[in-house]
A and B are shown apart, each in its own frame.
Chain A
Amino acid sequence: MPPREEVIVVGNTKVHLLVGGQGDPLLVLHGAGGNRGWRRWMAAVGEHYTVYAPTHPGFGRSDAADWMESIDDLARFYLWFLDVMGLSKVHLLGHSIGGWTAAELATMRPGVIDRLVLVSPTGLKPDEGEIRDIFFYPPEELLEYTVHDPTTVPEWAELFGGKPGLEEIEGALRNREMAARLTWKPYMFNPRLAHFLPRVQNPTLIVWGREDQIVPLICGEQYRRLLPNATLRVLERCGHLPPIERPDVFANLVLDFLRRA
């Protein structure tokens, strides 16, 4: 089923939302790069699940939310979003800062989540190494660190190949500004999150690219240790964007995991 675009009002904030597929609900929270639209992996997962892919407040064409300060604000916002949508229980998948948001949300209200998928999430301070400072690099240089090998990315041309128009440039600027607003200090982690994660008993799949140059793989191991029912799967020859870099493998991983519900 092709996706449809909706605008949902949560409090005073209008949020753009892509909804597609069929089956039990899967809420997908995007990373700092913004909502990349209805992607190949979503189409595959959408054959079995209804995918809800909102654009975070302050990102893309969703309303601004300059009052937000942190990722746990965003997590609380999505709890409200679920109320508005009438979704009492969902599978939850988040990538990068969306993964961090998903983890925070799970610690706040684990009962609203069925299964949890965390893809290269930020949120924890690495035991070794550092989370790369994504705001310190020009976008084109950052992309080199983000994707391991562009030649293996099926949707590369569509996502990154063309010269961006004015609307895309403005959207990318908004995305970066809102990401900075939410993650600046401490940079990309919440020192309290590790203390709350053991509350989350939900079955959890953690996915990481072996070659991730944004968030060190050791963070995946830390999440796995702290979450009582978590499995870590590492994709070879893959960087920080597993759903984009290895869409088919990624979709199958997610489907296998969700089907065990």
Chain B
Amino acid sequence: MKLYYFSEMPHHEFPDAEGDKYPSLRLAFPNTFFSPEIAHRNYQRYLDEYDFADQAGFDGLMINEHHSTPSCVNVSANMTTGILARTTKRAKLLILGNILPIQENPIQVAEQVAMADLISGGRVLSGFVRGVGVESWWANTNPVHNRERFEECHDLIIKCWTTPGPFRWEGRHYHFRHVNPWCLPLQKPYPPIWVPGTASPETAVWAGRMGYTYVPFLVSFEVARELFDFYRQGAAEAGRTVTPDKLGFLICAVTADSKAKALQAGRNFVWRMGPTLRGPLEYFSPVGMRSRAASQFALKARSVSLSKMSYEELVENYYIVAGTPDEVVDRFARVQKELGIGHLLLEAQESRMDHATTMRSIELMGKSVIPAMTRI
């Protein structure tokens, strides 16, 4: 099983009581609490940690993007990937991912991913996501078009990578008369495509049909298995066989020299389960963004909100893994056994987890956990 390092690049250097005064940390919490000086230092730190994860032996580095939120100030997955393409040597660069429905120019996305793939020597894994509703507000993109735009944007990007230009694109949402990108991926026909999922059965079926690698984020084993069943349904429709290499899973994880230290560090993940997800439903799932089936599935999948779970419950139910390297190996093995996955994505830094703790966790993962995982 392959392991991936992931940091959301949080900006949690403000008093929590200030955040509590607003309906949500996303969209509503004023950016007067953003500190450019702190962000300058944080970006250096977070990029150093990514570089170290590459050196420590992680199979991949996952990079994501959010907007209008202190929970993630990585505002450009492609920019970060471009940096890491140059500073890292061997790990795959998993962009998970570009938020397709909010893109105004899919050709530029195709070009940027291609450029990162070229700089990195063909190490890019190109994830495509629908985004949470917050991103639709940020971009002012009509959420009722979210799925249509996702699929059309995807289709145009793939065409950019597979069809010699120039050509014309006249879709429903995208219109380009002269498509001829002079930047194409090194990997052929194009970088592997990954798709995350939290609640949408349609996305799982679609990913299966397309043969893309599918990764549920922070759900229970039971829900993940149901989503994988939808994925297999789509794969079967297209006559595809599903191997572990097509299935991934994302959890939060930290290790340390002692169990007590690891459990202490793991508490930092609670912030991303609660306060950063707090807010009106309309922020996270604006009107029309989810189908009725997805809404019903989401209700079931989140019958108990992550924010309502105690730290102990989050640990017990594998949303958070925190322990010594040996304990972490056991926990990861259990995840693999439960889900039959080939990729485990680790959100490995959060909130106020300090640099030293993060670096030590990466180091221990490299020394003890990653070698053990290669045997699973």
User: CB within 8 Å of B: which residues of A?
Assistant: 135-138, 173, 176-177, 180-181, 184-185, 187
Contact = CB atoms under 8 A, between A and B. Distances in A.
B144 A177 contact: yes
Residue of A138, A176, A177, A180 ringed by the most chain B CB atoms within 10 A:
A180
B287 A135 contact: yes
B142 A185 contact: yes
Given A176-B287, A177-B287, A181-B288, A138 B282 contact: yes
Contact of B142 (A137, A173, A176, A181): A181
Interface in B264-290: 280-283, 286-288
A180 B143 contact: yes
Nearest to B282: A136
Contact of A137 (B140, B143, B280, B288): B280
Contacts of A173: 287
Nearest to A175: B287
Contacts of A177: 144, 287-288
B281 A138 contact: yes
B282 A180 contact: no
A187 B281 CA distance: 20
Nearest to A141: B280
A177 B286 CA distance: 9
A137 B144 contact: no
A18 B288 CA distance: 27
18 contacts: A135-B282, A135-B286, A136-B137, A136-B282, A136-B283, A137-B280, A138-B281, A138-B282, A176-B288, A177-B144, A177-B287, A180-B142, A180-B287, A180-B288, A181-B288, A184-B140, A184-B142, A187-B140
Contact of A185 (B140, B283, B287): B140
A173 B290 CA distance: 11
Contacts of A137: 280, 282
Contacts of B283: 136
A144 to B, nearest CB: 14
B324 to A, nearest CB: 45
A138 B144 contact: no
Contacts of A138: 280-282
Interface in B112-156: 137, 140, 142-144
Contacts, number: 33
A180 B137 CA distance: 12
Contacts of A136: 137, 280, 282-283
Nearest to B295: A173
Contacts of A181: 142, 144, 288
A136 B140 CA distance: 12
A101 B144 CA distance: 20
A180 B280 contact: no
Nearest to A66: B144
Residue of B143, B280, B281, B282 ringed by the most chain A CB atoms within 10 A:
B282
Given A180-B286, A181-B288, 14 more contacts: A135-B282, A135-B287, A136-B282, A173-B287, A176-B288, A177-B287, A180-B142, A180-B143, A180-B288, A181-B144, A184-B140, A184-B144, A185-B142, A187-B140
A181 B287 CA distance: 10
The 3 lowest CB-CB distance pairs between A and B, nearest first, are A184-B142, A177-B288, A176-B287
A59 to B, nearest CB: 13
A115 B353 CA distance: 67
A191 to B, nearest CB: 15
Nearest to A184: B142
A132 to B, nearest CB: 13
A182 B141 CA distance: 13
Nearest to A177: B288
Nearest to B137: A136
B174 to A, nearest CB: 14
Nearest to B145: A181
Nearest to A181: B144
A187 B142 CA distance: 10
Contacts of B281: 138
A177 B142 CA distance: 10
Contacts of B287: 135, 173, 176-177, 180
Contacts of B140: 184-185, 187
A176 B287 CA distance: 7
Contacts of A176: 287-288
Contacts of B144: 177, 180-181, 184
Residue of A135, A184, A185, A187 ringed by the most chain B CB atoms within 10 A:
A184
Residue of B280, B286, B288 ringed by the most chain A CB atoms within 10 A:
B288
B140 to A, nearest CB: 6
A135 B286 CA distance: 7
Contacts of B137: 136
B286 to A, nearest CB: 6
A177 B289 CA distance: 9
Contacts of A180: 142-144, 286-288
A185 B287 CA distance: 14
Nearest to A58: B144
Contacts of B142: 180-181, 184-185
A175 to B, nearest CB: 10
A187 B282 CA distance: 16
Contacts of A185: 140, 142
A12 B144 CA distance: 22
A106 B280 CA distance: 38
Interface in B229-284: 280-283
A137 B142 CA distance: 16
Nearest to B142: A184
